[in-house]
C-alpha cells in the first residue's frame, strides 16, 4: 500500500480539506458527500442545483393548475366514505326492521310536501344487496376521483344536488312512481367527471360510452328509473359547469351562489309540478 500523491483536483472545491473522487455530473467539479445532490444520473454540485432551479419552468402544466384551482382541499375522500357508510347502515336497518322502514324512506311524489325528508332518505335506501353494491362501488370509484379534485364541500353539493335532480325528474315525468337508491346522484357524478375532463382537455370517449350505455339500459330494463338517471345527469352537469367556469378564488362567493341557484331552480320546478 502506498500513499497517493496530493492533487487538489481530488479535493472538494467547497471544502479543500476533504478528499473526494466524485465529480458533479454537469460541471465536472469535485464534490464531497456533504455537497452532493442526487440526480437522475449521478450527482450535482450546489451551484448546478441552484442554476437548475432558477431555470426551471415557473408555471405548472395547465391541467394540474386547473385541477388545483377547483380543489378546495386535499386528503382522503371523507365525504365519499361517509356516504357509503351511511348507505350501508341504512340498508342493514332495512333488513332488520323490514319493508315498513323501506316504505318510510322511499320517495313518492304525492308525499313531497307532507314528508319532504324522503327526498334525502331515498338517496341512502336500496332495494337489494346488488343495488347497494353497484351504487356504492360506483360512488367509491367516482368519489375517489372527484372529491380530491374539487374539494369536499363542492363534492357534497354535487352529490346531493344530483340526487335532488333525479328526484325532481321523477316528480315531473312519473309522479306516482316510488323510487329509492343513489343512482341519480351517481349519474350526476358521471356527468360532472365528463364536464371536468372535457374542460381540462382529457379524453372523454370511454366515459361517454359508459354514460350512454348505462343511460340506455334504464330505458329497457324494468325496475330502473330512467327519469332519475336523466335528472341526475342534467343536475350534475350543471353543477360541474359552474365549478369549472368559476375556478378563480375571487369567484368563490359567486360559485357558491350559482350552485345554490341550481338547487333553487330544481325546487321551483318541483313546486310548479305539484301545483299543476
Classified as helix, coil or strand, 16 is coil
> What is the per-residue pLDDT across 33-78, written as a single tens digit (0 to 9) for each?
788 887 766 678 888 888 887 776 555 444 444 555 455 445 689 9
Dist CA 46 CA 38 (whole Å): 11
* Banded model confidence at residue 153, pLDDT cuts 50, 70, 90: very high
pLDDT for res 9: 64
- Which residue would you say has higher pLDDT here, 2 or 201? 201
Dist CA 190 CA 134 (whole Å): 14
> What is the per-residue pLDDT across 241-271, written as a single tens digit (0 to 9) for each?
999 999 887 888 999 999 999 999 999 999 9
Average pLDDT over residues 116-138: 95
Longest CA–CA separation in the chain, Å: 104
Find, among 187, 271, 167, 179, the residue nearest to 224 by Cα. Answer: 179
Look up 131 and say whether it is catalytic. Answer: no
pLDDT for res 4: 42
pLDDT for res 56: 62
Q: Beta 178-179 vs 107-108: how paired, if at all?
A: antiparallel
Look up 99 and say whether it is catalytic. Answer: no
For residue 45, count other CB atoms closer than 10 A to its CB. Answer: 24
Q: Which of 122, 138, 162, 183 does the annotation list as catalytic?
A: 183
For residue 160, count other CB atoms closer than 10 A to its CB. Answer: 19
Q: Which of 44, 126, 131, 229 does the annotation list as catalytic?
A: 229
Residue 229: is its pLDDT beyond 90?
A: yes
> What is the per-residue pLDDT across 132-148, written as a single tens digit (0 to 9) for each?
999 999 999 999 999 99
* Banded model confidence at residue 17, pLDDT cuts 50, 70, 90: confident
pLDDT for res 16: 84
3-state secondary structure 234-252: HHHHHHHHHHHHCCCHHHH
Query: Which CATH code fits 62-275?
Result: 1.20.1540.10
pLDDT for res 175: 93
Domain extents in the chain: 8-55, 62-275
pLDDT for res 57: 56
pLDDT above 90: percentage of residues in the chain: 58
pLDDT for res 2: 38
Mean of all residue pLDDT scores within the chain = 86
Return the axis-axis angle of helices 205-220 and 183-199, rounded to nearest 10°: 160
Residue 6: is its pLDDT beyond 60?
A: no
Find, among 87, 123, 88, the residue nearest to 105 by Cα. Answer: 123
pLDDT for res 123: 96
- Which residue would you say has higher pLDDT here, 70 or 232? 232
Amino acid at each position: 500500500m502506498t500513499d497517493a500523491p496530493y492533487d487538489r483536483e481530488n479535493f472538494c472545491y467547497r471544502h479543500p480539506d476533504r478528499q473526494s473522487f466524485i465529480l458533479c455530473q454537469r460541471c465536472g467539479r469535485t464534490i464531497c458527500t456533504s455537497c452532493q445532490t442526487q440526480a437522475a444520473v449521478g450527482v450535482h454540485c450546489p451551484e448546478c442545483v441552484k442554476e437548475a432551479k432558477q431555470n426551471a419552468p415557473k408555471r405548472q402544466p395547465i391541467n394540474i393548475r386547473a385541477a388545483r384551482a377547483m380543489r378546495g382541499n386535499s386528503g382522503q375522500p371523507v365525504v365519499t366514505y361517509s356516504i357509503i357508510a351511511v348507505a350501508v347502515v341504512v340498508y342493514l336497518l332495512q333488513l332488520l326492521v323490514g319493508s315498513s322502514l323501506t316504505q318510510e324512506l322511499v320517495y313518492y311524489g304525492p308525499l313531497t310536501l307532507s314528508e319532504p325528508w324522503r327526498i334525502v332518505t331515498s338517496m341512502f335506501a336500496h332495494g337489494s344487496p346488488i343495488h347497494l353494491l353497484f351504487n356504492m362501488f360506483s360512488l367509491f370509484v367516482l368519489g375517489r376521483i372527484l372529491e380530491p379534485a374539487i374539494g369536499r364541500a363542492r363534492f357534497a353539493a354535487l352529490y346531493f344536488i344530483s340526487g335532488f335532480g333525479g328526484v325532481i325528474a321523477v316528480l315531473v315525468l312519473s309522479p306516482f312512481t316510488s323510487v329509492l337508491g343513489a343512482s341519480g346522484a351517481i349519474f350526476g357524478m358521471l356527468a360532472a367527471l365528463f364536464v371536468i375532463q372535457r374542460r381540462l382537455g382529457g379524453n372523454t370517449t370511454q366515459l361517454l360510452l359508459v354514460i350512454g350505455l348505462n343511460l340506455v339500459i334504464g330505458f329497457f330494463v324494468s325496475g330502473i328509473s330512467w327519469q332519475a338517471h336523466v335528472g341526475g345527469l342534467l343536475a350534475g352537469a350543471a353543477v360541474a359547469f359552474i365549478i369549472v367556469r368559476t375556478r378563480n378564488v375571487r369567484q368563490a362567493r359567486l360559485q357558491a351562489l350559482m350552485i345554490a341557484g341550481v338547487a333553487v331552480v330544481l325546487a321551483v320546478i318541483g313546486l310548479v309540478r305539484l301545483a299543476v
